[in-house]
């Protein structure tokens, strides 16, 4: 599916994938920034806990955003495709300044919400300026191409990843989360071998990519964001190998970004930002 078109004179809302296990008790830097983007004390946040099978996931995030002084936070308990068509849920999404997808299983989100009025409305609202964030499975679902599941390991193998359609807020990147903690470089690179157009974003836990309307990615959190750019790919053996064999890929570019660093998804240029040495010190 294609991202919704941004109307002339308007800006798309921020897209904020989080690598999972974000700090909820101490500094809560990622969640605080999301609340501020959504309006601070005037923020109106909708929490969608569909990915989780735990009955209190939506309530916990609703209470958490309340403690962070968001003006309003509501958990929408969307458990089946009929729920995704409820008028009262659609009205709340229309009213919201931010949408937050919790963690769990991304295939629950895609199979329950994909193709429904809820999915269509969230795409349209993001194109109209509403900010959309997701943690763990909720991060994976945000892009057009989603990693459904795969095998851990550093080497890309043809059968190490399975892709599925995501929510489709953007087609510029593919997300993988819990990245270093679960050794997921191989499956992210394998996903890019299937679709070299997209940029791979590997998110460590307690780390987020705040992606603005100008397509600049800003790193927030205590870990790193691994950016894998296949735009300069000169060779791929993906079409020739069996499912269990490693894939040969030439021309990949990898960036490791931490707090303060940026990456422009349009120009594919990385910057160390505030981390770069000043000219005065040289």
pLDDT in tens, 88-107: 999 999 999 999 999 999 99
User: Of 126, 170, 197, 189, nearest to 1 (Cα)?
Assistant: 170
**44 and 95 in contact (C-beta within 8 Å)?**
yes
Q: Identify the active-site residue in 52, 84, 110, 136.
A: 136
In a domain, 274, yes or no: no
Catalytic residue check, 178: yes
pLDDT, tens only, 109-126: 999 999 999 999 999 999
Could you tell me whether strands 207-211 and 15-18 are parallel, antiparallel, or unpaired per DSSP bridges?
A: antiparallel
In a domain, 211, yes or no: yes
Give every CB contact of residue 9 below 8 A, 6+ residues apart in sequence.
none
pLDDT means per 10 residues in the chain (282 residues)?
A: 85 98 97 98 98 97 98 98 98 98 98 98 98 98 96 94 96 97 97 93 98 98 98 94 95 97 97 70 45
Q: Identify the active-site residue in 205, 218, 220, 236.
A: 205
**68 and 28 in contact (C-beta within 8 Å)?**
yes
Catalytic residue check, 22: no
**Crossing angle for the helix pair 57-67 and 29-37, nearest 10 degrees?**
80
What is the structure's pLDDT at 278?
55
Catalytic residue check, 255: no
What is the structure's pLDDT at 4?
86
| Chain mean position to CA 85 | 24
Question: For the chain, what is the domain count?
Answer: 1
**CATH number of the domain within which 128 lies:** 3.40.50.880
In a domain, 5, yes or no: no
Cα separation, 73 vs 161, in Å, equals 35
Give every CB contact of residue 56 below 8 A, 6+ residues apart in sequence.
none
In a domain, 137, yes or no: yes
**50 and 108 in contact (C-beta within 8 Å)?**
yes
In a domain, 249, yes or no: yes
What is the structure's pLDDT at 276?
64
**Crossing angle for the helix pair 117-127 and 87-95, nearest 10 degrees?**
10
Angle of CA points 213, 38, 262, to nearest 5° = 40
Q: Identify the active-site residue in 131, 145, 178, 255.
A: 178
In a domain, 7, yes or no: no
In a domain, 9, yes or no: no
Rg of the Cα atoms in the chain: 18
What is the residue whose two structure tokens read 């394998």?
Answer: 190
pLDDT, tens only, 195-204: 899 999 999 9
In a domain, 36, yes or no: yes
What is the structure's pLDDT at 1?
63
The most distant pair of C-alpha atoms in the chain lies apart, rounded to whole Å, by 62
Cα separation, 193 vs 248, in Å, equals 9
Domain of 238?
Answer: 15-265
What is the structure's pLDDT at 215?
97
């Amino acid at each position: 599916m294609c991202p919704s078109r941004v109307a002339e004179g308007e800006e798309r809302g921020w897209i904020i994938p989080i690598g999972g296990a974000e700090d909820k008790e101490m500094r809560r830097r990622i969640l605080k920034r999301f609340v501020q983007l959504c309006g601070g004390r005037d923020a109106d946040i909708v929490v969608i806990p569909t990915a989780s099978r735990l009955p209190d996931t939506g309530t916990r995030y609703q209470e958490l955003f309340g403690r962070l002084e968001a003006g309003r936070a509501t958990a929408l308990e969307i458990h089946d495709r009929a729920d995704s068509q409820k008028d009262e849920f659609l009205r709340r999404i229309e009213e919201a300044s931010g949408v937050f997808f919790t963690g769990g299983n991304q295939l629950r989100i895609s199979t329950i919400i994909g193709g429904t009025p809820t999915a269509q409305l969230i795409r349209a609202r993001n194109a109209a300026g509403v900010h959309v964030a997701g943690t763990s499975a909720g991060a994976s679902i945000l892009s057009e191409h989603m990693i459904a599941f795969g095998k851990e390991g550093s080497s890309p193998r043809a059968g190490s990843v399975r892709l599925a359609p995501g929510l489709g807020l953007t087609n510029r990147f593919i997300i993988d989360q819990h990245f270093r903690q679960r050794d997921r470089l191989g499956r992210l690179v394998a996903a890019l071998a299937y679709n070299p157009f997209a940029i791979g974003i590997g998110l460590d836990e307690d780390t987020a990519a705040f992606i603005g309307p100008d397509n600049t990615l800003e790193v927030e959190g205590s870990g790193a964001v691994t950016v894998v750019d296949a735009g300069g790919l000169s060779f791929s053996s993906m079409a020739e190998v069996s499912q269990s064999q490693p894939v040969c890929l030439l021309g990949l570019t990898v960036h490791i970004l931490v707090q303060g660093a940026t990456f422009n998804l349009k120009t594919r240029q990385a910057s160390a930002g505030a981390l770069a040495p000043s000219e005065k010190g040289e």
